[in-house]
Amino acid sequence: MSNVYEIITHNTKKHMKLNSAYIGHLSVSSKQNYIVYGSVRGLVSEHRSKSGAERSAAKDHTGCSSLGGGAYSGVSVYQWTDGGWAKS
């Protein structure tokens, strides 16, 4: 399901598509085409590029593992497709 929202900035109107679909049992929405999402931490970040999402996921993995005590990130990069969010 995609929705279009009207955003007014500096007296100009922009129509932004909101990508919204389920990942597992949770509805996840973003205005970007790439997200970093995990079942434990939920939506971590949103990105216009796959490389940006991959950098964010790597940073999250490193940050969580540095906490010790068995902490883990569990996030993946997802890309918006016509059918919804798909692991990238």
Output DSSP code: residue 35: E
* pTM exceeding 0.85: no
Give exposure, 55-66, as e/b (b: 16+ Cβ within 10 Å).
Answer: ebbeebeeebee
- Pick from 77, 6, 14, 83: which is nearest to 46 by CA? 77
Strand order in the sheet with 75-81: 42-47, 34-38, 75-81, 84-87
pLDDT for 34-83, tens place per residue?
999 998 888 999 999 999 999 999 999 898 888 888 777 899 999 999 88
Count the domains in the chain. Answer: 1
Q: Which has more confidence, 24 or 77?
A: 77
What domain range includes position 30? 2-87
- Which residue in the block uniquely carries the two structure tokens 């399901």? 1
